[in-house]
Amino acid sequence: EVQLVESGGGLVQAGGSLRLSCATSGFTFDDYTIGWFRQAPGKEREGVSCISPRNGDTYVADSVKGRFTITGDNAKNTVYLQMNSLKPDDTAVYYCAAKFLTTPQIMAVLGPSVWHEWGQGTLVTVSS
C-alpha cells in the first residue's frame, strides 16, 4: 500500500521557520519524484517544490525561492521541506505528492492533477 504521511505543520509567527516531513512507503522511492503542494483557503492547489531522489534534481517555485529548501533522505524514504522566513501568505494545507518516472521540472509546466499519489496534508498557519 502506497503511503505518504506528512508531519511538521503548525502555528508560527511571521519570520519563523518550520520543517515539514513526508515519510513514504509502499513504492520504490527512487522511481518517483516527490513534491510539495499547498492549498490556501479559497485558492487552487499550487506546486511549491519537488525533488528526484534518484539524482537530487530539484524544482522550487518562484514564490518560495530563497526561503524554502527541499531535501531527501533516501535511507529513510523521506522528503523534507525546510521553510524559513515564513509569511502569512504561506498559510495553507501542505500536501506531499509522488509522481512516477518524471523530472522535477514537471511541476513548472503541469498542475497537480498529473501527480499519482497524495498524502493527507498538514496545516501550516503563519500569524502576522
Per-residue tens of pLDDT for the chain, all 128 residues: 999 999 999 999 999 999 999 999 999 999 999 999 999 999 999 999 999 999 999 999 999 999 999 999 999 999 999 999 999 999 999 999 999 988 888 888 889 999 989 999 999 999 99
Which residues are within 8 A (CB) of 36 and not within 5 positions of it... i.e. 6 or more apart?
Answer: 20, 22, 47, 48, 49, 50, 70, 79, 81, 94, 95, 96, 97
- pLDDT score of 109: 87
- pLDDT score of 101: 83
List, in sequence order, every residue forming a beta bridge with 49; answer none if it has no partner: 36, 60
Q: Which candidate, 121, 126, 116, places its Cα nearest to that of 20?
A: 121
CA-based angle 72:65:29, to the nearest 5? 20
Cα dihedral 6, 112, 50, 48 in deg (nearest 10): -80
